Amino acid sequence: MAAGPTELVMTLAGSVALLLWGVRQVRVGVTGAFGTELRRLLAAAARRRWRAFLMGGIVSGLLQSATATALLVGAFAGQKLVALPLALTMMLGADVGSTLAAQLLAFDVKALWAVLVATGVGLAMATDTGRTRGLARISFGIGVMLLSLREIGGAAAVLQHSDLFRGALGALAGAPALAVAVMALATWAVHSSLAMILFTMSLAHSGAVPPVLALALVLGANLGGAAAPFLALSGSPAAARRVPLGNLLMRAVAVVAVLPWLGAASGLAEWLGGADPARLVAHAHTLFNVALAVIFLPLCGPVAGLVERLLPEPPAGADPGLARHLDPNLVTSPPEALACAMREALELGHHVSAMVRRIPEAMTASDIRVVREIEKLDDVADRLFESLKLYLVKVSQAEMTEEESRRAMEIVSFATHLEHIGDIIDKNLMELAAKRARKGLVFSDEGREELLAFHALVMTNMALALNVFATRDVDMARRLVAEKSAIRIAERNATENHYARLRAGRPESIETSTIHLDVVRDLKRIHGHLASTAYPILEAAGELSDSRLKAQDDGPLPAAAGQSSVSA
């Protein structure tokens, strides 16, 4: 029983979705299995033009995506690891390399889909190791792509007899510029020029798309494929966005130059494709990108200069609330993404440390200008924390080992405690400082010295907490937790001394009593958040008992540290 038009359209739409998913599985599999090596090869090739061109082609061919390569190269350029002319050279190589998959899949190998899917599933079920699971994704993804291409071809062969379908294709065939624009938008929407080229190959093979229209769709797919990475990096530094912008400009110039000649390209189409229309699409895709490379390889320098004028560096003193280390192109590679997150967490730590350092200044200033400056610093810290949190959420969506998951939670926990410290300073201590300044209150000399000594102790442990987080050193973690006892002793002494001054009737102590005690309390709370940095590290090392810190093998803890109660 023949399928109805609705069922055919649904089959076509589902097959295209399956094709996109298969392409993504291959890309994720290659990144998971060989991502670190590919990035290392790209970085090593960023010194010589021909090596950069060849390596761009190899990486793009393996990833089956010039878009993914553009994101990688853009990230290198954003970190000043590769000069812009060489980065554009890499992209020209990536554009050529991305055509290899289309050439291979133009052969009639669709019957292999079952073998590839079965191989991928078997590998995935046999092991949980990262590289093998990456290979499983590659095999499974290619199998799914072949299956989807077979279904697309079958559905298109039937749909070409539909009056509506023929009318739509006829309208596009009569307006090549419109066909280019429609395909460019579709390619940008799906972020995969390879998928759209393969889709066009299936339509052409079934006879649904005439040769000239197929060439227009190839141009549109190349234009849309260059636009996708530029828009994806819209929030990145200018240096990172220049690479995809340069690639987009080169492709746009080539498309505009070729478009007027499509009407006279029937002879070229016959020569490219011969008896197989699918081969026409694959050859046209490759020829376009090879010609693009031949023309623009000598012009990468001038194109780089133009792009730098279009996207200049922002002025010095740019927004401090923008995360500098969170590379969005690494979220599918947890080891590298977690390294980026750790650097950003330390950046947040240094920022919060600067806030803590200025507490005495705010508490002794005669006006509230310093208070307002510190409140603005907290706004920056909140934005950095939000960026870091959302980045780790994206990273957690990739497959992670148990150790990687534990490290991600340590980073989240550390950043959360830093954000709480910022809130204590902003919402509590700065309100106290503003209240003191408005009323013109002054601490007694003894009270001021006690607060400064307490603050110095907290600052020392702030530096220790940052080092504990960065090094995960167990001995330093033990020291940080043991310091809670010293903080409690300092708090008790400061409180007792303050009440002694109250009993003695010291006017300054009486006027600032509430503020003094609240500052001590909040400084202790800040240290409590700092000490929490040590708990995940001690727990992972087996250094925590149910409720107390274990004594070291070479003897008991010092008396002060031995009094410290630990709750994980």
| pLDDT value of position 529 | 92
Q: What is the pTM of this model?
A: 0.59
| pLDDT value of position 556 | 46
Q: Helix axis angle, 84-97 relative to 49-63, nearest 10°?
A: 40
Do 355 and 278 reside in the same domain of the chain? no
Sequence-ordered list of residues with C-beta below 8 angstroms from that of 163, at least 6 positions apart, any chain: none
Phi-psi group of 12: left, alpha or beta (phi > 0 → left; psi -120 to 50 → alpha; rest → beta): alpha
Do 242 and 158 reside in the same domain of the chain? yes
Do 399 and 276 reside in the same domain of the chain? no
Do 282 and 392 reside in the same domain of the chain? no
| pLDDT value of position 240 | 78
| pLDDT value of position 290 | 92
Query: Considering its fold, how many domains does the chain have in total?
Result: 2
Q: What is the dihedral of CA 387, 389, 391, 397, to 10 degrees?
A: -160
Task: Report yes or no: 211 and 266 within 8 Å, Cβ to Cβ.
Answer: yes
What the block records as the tokens of 262 is 């499509």
Query: Is residue 567 situated within a structural domain?
Result: no
Sequence-ordered list of residues with C-beta below 8 angstroms from that of 345, at least 6 positions apart, any chain: 388, 411, 414, 415, 418, 469
Do 292 and 344 reside in the same domain of the chain? no
At 207, is the secondary structure helix, strand, or coil?
A: coil
Query: Is residue 322 situated within a structural domain?
Result: no
Do 419 and 282 reside in the same domain of the chain? no
- Give the Cα separation of 78 and 550 in Å (integer): 46
- For residue 23, the one-letter residue type is V
Do 337 and 208 reside in the same domain of the chain? no
Choose one of 310, 343, 368: the last residue of a domain.
310
- Give the Cα separation of 508 and 491 in Å (integer): 20
Sequence-ordered list of residues with C-beta below 8 angstroms from that of 98, at least 6 positions apart, any chain: 60, 61, 64, 65, 66, 69, 193, 194, 225, 289
> What's the domain range around 350?
328-562
Query: Is residue 315 situated within a structural domain?
Result: no
Query: Is residue 317 situated within a structural domain?
Result: no
Do 284 and 350 reside in the same domain of the chain? no
| pLDDT value of position 254 | 92
Do 449 and 533 reside in the same domain of the chain? yes
| pLDDT value of position 41 | 67
Do 126 and 180 reside in the same domain of the chain? yes
CA distances from 438 to 33, 49, 308, 445, 539 (A): 62, 65, 50, 20, 46
H helix intervals, 64-192: 66-78, 84-97, 99-105, 113-126, 130-159, 163-173, 176-190
Other CB atoms within a 10 A radius of the CB of residue 322 amount to 15
Query: Is residue 266 situated within a structural domain?
Result: yes
| pLDDT value of position 47 | 64
Do 280 and 231 reside in the same domain of the chain? yes
| pLDDT value of position 235 | 62
Sequence-ordered list of residues with C-beta below 8 angstroms from that of 401, at least 6 positions apart, any chain: 130, 334
- The half-sphere exposure of 324 on its side-chain side, counting CA atoms within 13 A, is 11
CATH number, domain with residue 354: 1.20.58.220
Do 295 and 337 reside in the same domain of the chain? no
pLDDT, one tens digit for every residue, the chain (568 residues): 455 667 777 877 787 787 778 777 776 777 666 666 666 666 666 567 777 788 878 777 776 667 777 777 776 676 666 788 888 888 888 888 888 877 877 776 667 778 888 888 888 787 766 677 778 888 888 788 778 777 776 776 676 666 676 677 777 777 888 889 988 988 887 777 877 888 888 778 777 778 888 888 899 989 988 888 888 777 667 777 888 899 999 999 999 998 887 766 555 656 565 557 777 888 888 889 999 999 998 998 899 999 989 888 766 455 677 777 787 767 777 877 888 888 889 989 998 999 999 999 888 887 788 888 888 888 888 888 988 888 888 888 877 777 888 888 999 999 999 999 999 998 898 888 888 888 888 888 888 888 898 899 999 999 999 998 988 888 888 898 888 888 888 889 888 888 988 888 888 888 888 888 898 999 999 999 999 988 888 887 777 765 555 555 444 444 433 333 333 3
Query: Is residue 222 situated within a structural domain?
Result: yes
CB neighbour class for 399 (10 Å; exposed up to 12, middle 13-18, buried from 19): middle
Query: Is residue 323 situated within a structural domain?
Result: no
According to DSSP, residue 546 is labeled S
Task: Report yes or no: 251 and 289 within 8 Å, Cβ to Cβ.
Answer: no
Choose one of 310, 344, 363: the last residue of a domain.
310
- Give the Cα separation of 279 and 106 in Å (integer): 6
Query: Is residue 68 situated within a structural domain?
Result: yes
| pLDDT value of position 142 | 79
Question: Among residues 451, 441, 531, which one has the least CA distance to residue 491?
Answer: 451
At 555, is the secondary structure helix, strand, or coil?
A: strand
| pLDDT value of position 78 | 67
Choose one of 310, 337, 370: the last residue of a domain.
310
Task: Report yes or no: 329 and 114 within 8 Å, Cβ to Cβ.
Answer: no
